[in-house]
Structure 1
Amino acid sequence: MKQVAFYTLGCKVNQYDTEAMITLFTAAGYELVDFAEKADIYIINTCTVTHQGARKSRQMIRRAKRRNPQAIVAVVGCYPQVSPEEILEIDGVDLIVGTEGRREILDLIKQVKRADEPLNFVQDVSEVEEFEEIPIDKAEERTRASLKVQDGCDSFCAYCIIPYTRGSIRSRGIEDAVKEAKRLVSNGFKEIVLTGIHLGAYGREREEEFNLVTLLEELIKISDLKRIRLSSIEATEVTSDLIDLIAEEEKLCRHLHLPLQNGSDKILEAMNRDYNAKQYADKVAEIRNKIPQIAITTDVMVGFPGETEEDFETTYQLIKELAFSDLHVFKYSKREGTPAAKFPNQVHSKVKKKRSAKLRDLADDLASEYRKKFLGIELDVLVEEERDGRTDLLTGLTDNYLRVMIDDNDQYQEELVDVKLKELREDYLIGEIKKD
């Protein structure tokens, strides 16, 4: 039996794409092995959002070839999509595929075996109009599975390479999405996380044939599906209909990840974001008014070109005021091919590091304050299939994204249980399962 190993960098969409390719290989009789083991084929699913992602991709390519010099090394995803020549120059690369054409990868591997030189199958993603359908039936976790329903982005934020690597918006048909969701549920998954490059734009190119709300209304009907969680979505695309649906439907998780990026209107405009700070804050207020216990998390970028100390302080105060339950802090990374790479007033790395540290400290404080609100309250927890490595306790998430540890037996693994939250510890809560 031929062995294949995967290594994935980057976002949840990339993770889904890897799972889809794994499904293709295992269905064809390949054995999946860890990337650290010797394999016949190594596939690196790359990221190029930051310089670090591109550098890590190159490291993994070289590492794979050292493990087995005779192995076929395929490099797929965003990095080859924008820099195919750069990857082909790396010694040991046999095949490159961009962000389209991955469903043909088995046939491409066969072509590599007959070729005398590296093969380039990167397509012009700007010409792609249809969603690439590669269904999955398994995932790394057994309790929670991602369901990719959208690809591409037309926003062209000044700092972002993604529109150039993923192309225009393409949405998966509702029938196909529901079919895959049902298959995942039949394989034991209790929670599905809807993912996409620009999730809130789902259906936009279909001329209002369907949208995110109509998709959710269909997924809710799947009887054995316990939870549906949304991945990142723009605040401007959280409609009143979507808020009402989350407020009314128990299956929809009370958690929204709404990228802020910056709290300064000057910087938001330079970033080519389509909202200002007040519009964002008003949307958060509207959501919390209808869903009081909701977890609202966000992304924040520090050190965008031209960001002054005053701009940063404005961002800091807005984040504090909005009291996010968690935030991911990123330092601006210059990407060639994006407008911001040529902007003047690039911020020094030491300043970025200082600002990032200050926001991370704030994030810790805000997360702790959010967790404290739920002490003494009973919430449903989806218990995961493995115990927590730090504590050896059962671990799971509430629908509003609280990490909970439980001292109980393994019979509750992969089950949705009612838990009373009793104690706050570091970045999690201690809970007790309510038994009948």
Structure 2
Amino acid sequence: MRKAALHNLGCKVNSYETEAMQQLLESAGYEIVPFAEGADVYIINTCSVTNIADRKSRQMLHRAKKMNPGAVVVAAGCYVQAAGEELKKDEAVDLVIGNNKKTELVSILEDYFAQNKAAEEETVIDISHTTEYENLSISRPGDHTRAFVKVQDGCNQFCSYCIIPFTRGRVRSRKPQEVVEEIRRLAALGYEEAVLTGIHLSSYGMDFPEQERIGLLDLIIKVHEIPQIRRIRLGSLEPRIITEEFAGTLAGLEKICPHFHLSLQSGCDATLKRMNRKYTTKEYLKGCELLRSAFKNPAITTDIIVGFPGETKEEFETTREYLKKLQFYEMHVFKYSVRNGTRAADMPDQIPESVKAERSSELLSLEQEMSLSYRKSHLGSQTEVLMEEEYETDGKRYIIGHTKEYIKAAVPFEEGIKGKVVKGTLWKMLTDEVIFLKC
């Protein structure tokens, strides 16, 4: 029995695909082992979102070969799409498998072992010219207490800083019946929360033939009808999807988690235009207002890039004031990182790293203030918490989990409640990030 070890880099979609590849290997008789010395096959599901992600991908590939020079090292995923020819020349890499070819992992490995070399068939396609959704699926969701389910791939947006449309291709959606079937299987295993994820989730269904056209809202309604599922959480959304109909319909679905990640990137219209984002700050604000009128105190989270090329001090100040006005629950703050192959990489007025670090630090301090304020606004409210893992503070043991709004809450340690939903009142702050749940 051959031993295989897998390592994932990057986003939630990559995590899902890594689990799917692991289950393909298990079904083929491989023994899955930790990513350490002793494996016969190392599979690194790579990321290419930034130059730093490229470097981390290369480092993991070389680390694998160093751990066992006789092992087969497989580079899979986005970095392969960005640098396939370069990787084929890398002595640390034995096989390259691009996106939309991961389902063929086992047969590609079998061919390799039979011939002691990579097969002649192409394992990296021109991803920008495929309309086929790669039908990877999972029968159980790893070690999670919630089930992440990929429903969509690719992106048509072409933001000026982003390589993803070139590594993931154009929008491709998974058939709704396949999504529902997978979630039914996972629900039957006891999972009570489903998280719908994709590269550009808001575009779900736009690639279907007109007579079969359904959108993300239609898919959510179908998932909502699965009896065993108690919660539905959504991955990152584009602001333009938040219409009165969208927010109002979701508010009428009791299983929907009022936790919405709306990608912003900048609070300055001039910066958004250079980024090639397809909305204005006024349109973004309207989306937040619609969610807050449809739901009681929903959690709205976002992404912000600081130090984008040409971002003046005044533009940064405009962003900071805009963020204060919106009062997010959480913000993921990123320093702009050059990505070769994107328009932004060649833009003038690149910002010094010291300025990026200063701006990032300022927004992270603001994020901590807003986040604590949002948590405190829920004190005294009755809620349900999906219990996930052990937690210790001040020498006391707890089980910690998340509310529907994704607020961390804890109860005294008790065997057998991991993966279960517990009801109670958000009573007091245990730490700045965790609230004690009084049952």
**Bucket of the pairwise TM-score, normalised by the shorter protein:** over 0.9
Match of 1:430 in 2: 435
Q: Deviations over 1:383-417 (max 9, x none)?
A: 11x31266641010000010112114123221111
Match of 1:111 in 2: 111
Match of 1:414 in 2: 419
Tell me whether 392-401 or 118-127 shows the greater mean CA deviation: 118-127
Q: Secondary structure at 2:332's aligned position in 1?
A: strand
* Distance in 1, Cα, partners of 2:116 & 2:21: 25
* Distance in 2, Cα, partners of 1:223 & 1:366: 36
Amino acid at match of 1:291: F
1:277 aligns with 2:281: yes
Could you state the TM-score of these two structures normalised by the residue count of structure 2?
0.96
Match of 2:151 in 1: 149
Amino acid at match of 1:395: I
Q: Deviations over 1:357-390 (max 9, x none)?
A: 1111111110000000111211100011x31266
Match of 2:352 in 1: 348
Tell me whether 408-417 or 115-124 shows the greater mean CA deviation: 115-124
1:129, distance to aligned residue in structure 2 (A): 0.5
Q: Is residue 137–residue 187 contact of structure 1 (8 Å, CA) maintained in 2? A: no
User: Runs ≥4 in structure 1, deviation > 6 angstroms?
Assistant: none
Q: Is residue 403–residue 427 contact of structure 1 (8 Å, CA) maintained in 2? A: no
Q: Is residue 129–residue 168 contact of structure 1 (8 Å, CA) maintained in 2? A: yes
Match of 1:318 in 2: 322
Tell me whether 139-148 or 282-291 shows the greater mean CA deviation: 139-148
1:5, distance to aligned residue in structure 2 (A): 0.8
Q: Is residue 143–residue 188 contact of structure 1 (8 Å, CA) maintained in 2? A: no
Aligned ranges for residues 160-199 of structure 1 at < 5 Å? 160-199=162-201
Match of 1:337 in 2: 341
* Distance in 2, Cα, partners of 1:228 & 1:369: 25
Q: Secondary structure at 1:283's aligned position in 2?
A: helix
Match of 2:409 in 1: 404
Amino acid at match of 2:243: T
Could you state the TM-score of these two structures normalised by the residue count of structure 1?
0.96
Equivalent residues, number:
433
Amino acid at match of 1:16: Y
Q: Is residue 14–residue 45 contact of structure 1 (8 Å, CA) maintained in 2? A: yes
Tell me whether 286-295 or 323-332 shows the greater mean CA deviation: 286-295
Q: Deviations over 1:313-346 (max 9, x none)?
A: 1111111110000000011111111111111011
Aligned ranges for residues 23-422 of structure 1 at < 5 Å? 23-115=23-115, 117=117, 121-206=123-208, 207=210, 209-384=213-388, 386-388=389-391, 392-422=397-427
Q: Secondary structure at 1:228's aligned position in 2?
A: strand
Structure 1: where are the runs of 5+ without partners? none
Q: Deviations over 1:222-270 (max 9, x none)?
A: 1111111001010111233321232111211011000100011111011
Tell me whether 62-71 or 154-163 shows the greater mean CA deviation: 62-71
1:420, distance to aligned residue in structure 2 (A): 1.4
Structure 2: where are the runs of 5+ without partners? none
Q: Is residue 246–residue 253 contact of structure 1 (8 Å, CA) maintained in 2? A: no
1:71, distance to aligned residue in structure 2 (A): 0.9
Q: Secondary structure at 2:237's aligned position in 1?
A: coil
1:3, distance to aligned residue in structure 2 (A): 1.2
Give the CA RMSD over aligned residues: 1.5
Q: Deviations over 1:70-113 (max 9, x none)?
A: 11110001001011122223222110011111100101011222
